[in-house]
């Protein structure tokens, strides 16, 4: 596994994989859009299957990669 991102010029110190799980129509996709792209839309569509976004951050001088997965909200209990 490589600890570098993209063109191998940026070392990644930490990778966090986060899955958003909750009932349908509670705002998981909007939470993801706000965090990853700083966007919010009142006209959102239901997620089909799974979608994900990646965000790179620098926290305490460490390069952190967050992979956030957004589920459809119809998981079995």
pLDDT in tens, 9-19: 679 999 999 99
* 4 located within any domain: no
Q: How many domains does the chain have?
A: 1
* 57 located within any domain: yes
C-alpha 61/C-alpha 58 separation (Å) is 6
In this prediction, residue 1 has a pLDDT band, given cuts at 50, 70 and 90, of: very low
* 5 located within any domain: no
How many helices (H) and strands (E) are present in the chain, helices listed first? 1, 5
Report whether pLDDT(68) > 50: yes
Domain that holds residue 46: 12-71
Whether the pTM exceeds 0.75: the reply is no
* 76 located within any domain: no
* 32 located within any domain: yes
In this prediction, residue 47 has a pLDDT band, given cuts at 50, 70 and 90, of: confident
């Amino acid at each position: 596994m490589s600890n570098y991102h993209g063109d191998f010029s940026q070392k990644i110190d930490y990778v966090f994989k986060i899955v958003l799980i909750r009932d349908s129509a509670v705002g998981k996709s909007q939470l993801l859009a706000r965090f990853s792209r700083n966007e919010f839309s009142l006209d959102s569509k239901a997620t089909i299957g799974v979608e994900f976004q990646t965000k790179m951050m620098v926290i305490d001088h460490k390069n952190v990669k967050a992979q956030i997965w957004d589920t459809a909200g119809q998981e079995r209990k």
